[in-house]
Amino acid sequence: MDFIAETIADLSPSLTLSITSQAKQMREDGIDVCGLAAGEPDFDTPQHIKNAAIDALQDGETKYTAVAGLKALRMGLAKKLKEENQINYEPDEIVVNCGAKHSCFNAIMACCDAGDEVIIPSPYWTSYPEMVNAVGAKPVFAETKQENNWKITAEEFDNAMTGSTKMIIINSPNNPTGAVYTREELAAIGEVAASEDILILSDEIYEKLVYGESKHVSMASISDEIRRLTITINGFSKAYSMTGWRLGYTAAIKEIADAIDTIQSHSTSNPTTFAQFGAIAALTSDQSEIDDMVEEYNIRRQYVLGRLNTIANISTIEPEGAFYFLINIEKTGIKSVNFSEKLLSRMQVATIPGVAFGNDQTIRISYATSLPIIKEGLDRLEEFCRAH
Ligand code: PMP
Ligand code: GLU
């Protein structure tokens, strides 16, 4: 007898998480690893956020809350979405989940049946296809081009559509490419979606991490029609360095929010209660620590860009957001898994092979680590590329 369900048997574990923990283990074992793999801020969670959760624990906030999260938190999120993202959501159109990964999963489960197609611009964040597969729906990859900054165009979206398309996933700022979509680009994609009533899962987890002249625009802010089709996903992990707290959220029309609430009521119930108090503090307090983090990321981003542009046999685009570079290694003639494995075993530099993001001619590095580690990692990458 097959113990494992057919939809689950072929899923692969998350490569981003497994390589990151492999690199952590090597470091604990005393190996001098430069970890450029982790998609996780290296800053600590701000102290006032920790204090709010500690106070909540001391005050006995240790019981269930509403499945969708504390009303005060959802009211804070509605205010945030209105003021920062120019989208009007009522608190009962918002569901707080156990991390934005959970938010994406719930949204896909709530909306996609077996046989539905979900268009995923490639390169993509590693978990999207497996979430779609896990509910029996079908991921349809739309290849994007490096010369278009790896962004899907409205025309490419249109070409990927079939009678079975239910949803498209747009992630801006993007993991792994760092691309940020402009308002015009989002509007053009939104219009194509609206013409066929296709849902848009808009993953905006990196919204705060944008650099230079780039601005983050929320898909649902573009028009009422696009808002009706959009499921806005965001969370606390990246903006507030709260990856371990597991707090994300979904905002969508009530019909979809209610379906997500129902799924969550039978799976995780509410996200951890005292963590939600930390999230309220994150939303309502001074946001200047975010500016400091962004400034530091930007210094690293510019340093990495300068270095990568001088290394033989590789190329990249200038990422305008998130904290990643997707590096094109095609000229080396080595495929991504082989490249990353050799880089780790010979030079002790941890990176993520692009195959995890649907592109075997790239590797991803993260600059969510200190400048000295980045510098040493790039010295080693340069030496490796010189020999290949
Ligand atoms: N979306 C993207 C694009 C991500 O890179 C991540 C990374 N963790 C997530 C969602 C999920 O974040 P979390 O579950 O930590 O909120
Ligand atoms: N999203 C981060 C990454 O891409 C963290 C790991 C994960 O959740 O996949 O590396």
Is 50 inside a domain boundary? no
Q: Is residue 1 situated within a structural domain?
A: no
Which run of H or of E encompasses 55?
helix 47-58
Residues 158 and 255 in one domain: yes
Residues 185 and 101 in one domain: yes
Q: Are 132 and 30 members of one domain?
A: no
User: Is 201 part of any domain?
Assistant: yes
Q: Do 382 and 322 have their domain in common?
A: yes
Evaluated on CA atoms 48, 286, 98, 264, the torsion sign reads: positive
CA–centroid distance, residue 82 to ligand 1 (Å): 22
**Are 37 and 118 part of one and the same domain?**
no
Report how far ligand 2's centroid is from the alpha carbon of 38 (Å).
7
Ligand 2 contacts CB of residue 175 (under 6 A): yes
Residue 32 within any structural domain of the chain: yes
**What distance in angstroms lies between residue 225's CA and the mean position of ligand 2's atoms?**
31
* Distance from the alpha carbon of residue 26 to the mean position of ligand 1, in angstroms: 24
- Are residue 280 and residue 292 in the same domain, yes or no? no
Ligand 1 contact, 234 CB (< 6 A): no
Q: Please tell me if the CB atom of residue 116 comes closer than 6 angstroms to any atom of ligand 1.
A: no
pLDDT 10s digits, 69-92: 999 999 999 999 999 999 999 999
pLDDT at 19 over 90: no
pLDDT at 15 over 90: no
Q: Is 17 in the pocket of ligand 2 (CB under 6 A)?
A: yes
Cα 352 to averaged position of ligand 2 atoms, centre (Å): 10
Looking at the structure, tell me whether residues 279 and 292 fall in a common domain: no
* CATH code where residue 335 lies: 3.90.1150.10
pLDDT at residue number 21: 85
Residue 53: inside a domain, yes or no?
no
Q: Are 261 and 125 in a shared domain?
A: yes
Q: What is the pLDDT of residue 81?
A: 98
Judged against a pLDDT cut of 90, whether residue 20 lies above it is answered with no
Q: pTM for the full model?
A: 0.97
Domain boundary among 284, 313, 347: 284
Instruction: Look at ligand 2, atom 5, and give the residue with the nearest C-alpha.
Output: 39
Question: Which residue's CA is minimally distant from atom 1 of ligand 2?
Answer: 39
Taking the centre of ligand 2 as the mean of its atom positions, its distance from the CA of residue 39, in whole angstroms, is 5
HSE-up (13 A, CA, CB side) for residue 186: 27
Q: Does one domain contain both 185 and 118?
A: yes
Residues 148 and 212 in one domain: yes
**Which three-class secondary structure state does DSSP give residue 342?**
helix
| 89 and 161 part of one domain | yes
Q: Are residues 27 and 123 in the same domain?
A: no
The Å distance, Cα 16 to ligand 2 centre, comes to 5
* Residue 106: domain span: 61-284
Which of these three, 229, 254, 284, is where a domain ends?
A: 284
The closest residue, in CA terms, to atom 9 on ligand 2 is 16
Q: Nearest C-alpha to atom 4 of ligand 2 is from which residue? A: 39
Q: Which long-range contacts (CB under 8 A, 24 or more apart) does 135-144 make?
A: 135/7, 135/108, 135/109, 136/7, 137/108, 137/112, 137/113, 137/166, 138/164, 140/165, 141/358
Residue 103 CB–ligand 2 contact under 6 Å: no
Residue 67 confidence (pLDDT) above 90: yes
Q: Name the residue with the closest Cα to ligand 2, atom 3.
A: 39
Can you point out the beta strands (E) in the chain?
Answer: 34-35, 94-97, 117-122, 138-143, 165-171, 199-203, 230-235, 248-251, 315-316, 324-328, 349-350, 352-353, 362-366
| 377 CA from centroid of ligand 2 (Å) | 20
Q: Relative to the CA of 14, which ligand 2 atom is closest? A: 9
Which residue lies with its CA nearest to atom 5 of ligand 1? 175
Ligand 1 atom with the smallest distance to the CA of 175 is 3
Ligand 1 atom nearest to 100, measured from its CA:
16
Nearest to 334 by CA among 311, 313, 309, 357: 313
Structure tokens at 74: 């959802």
State pLDDT tens for residues 302-333.
999 999 999 999 999 999 999 999 999 999 99
388, pLDDT greater than 90 = no
Boundary residue ending a domain (284, 312, 328) = 284
In a domain, 217, yes or no: yes
pLDDT of 89-119, one tens digit each? 999 999 999 999 999 999 999 999 999 999 9
Residue nearest to atom 8 of ligand 2 (CA): 17
- Output the domain CATH number for residue 203: 3.40.640.10
Decide if pLDDT at 364 tops 90: yes
* pLDDT tens track for 281-294: 999 998 998 999 99
Domain count, the chain: 2
Determine, yes or no, domain membership for 129. yes
| CA–centroid distance, residue 243 to ligand 2 (Å) | 10
51 in a domain, yes or no? no
Taking the centre of ligand 2 as the mean of its atom positions, its distance from the CA of residue 1, in whole angstroms, is 34
The DSSP annotation for 183-231 comes to HHHHHHHHHHHHHHT-EEEEE-TTTT-B-TT-----GGGS-HHHHHHEE
Q: Which residue has the tokens 């542009």?
A: 309
Dihedral-angle region of residue 308 (phi above 0 means left; psi in -120 to 50 means alpha; beta otherwise): alpha
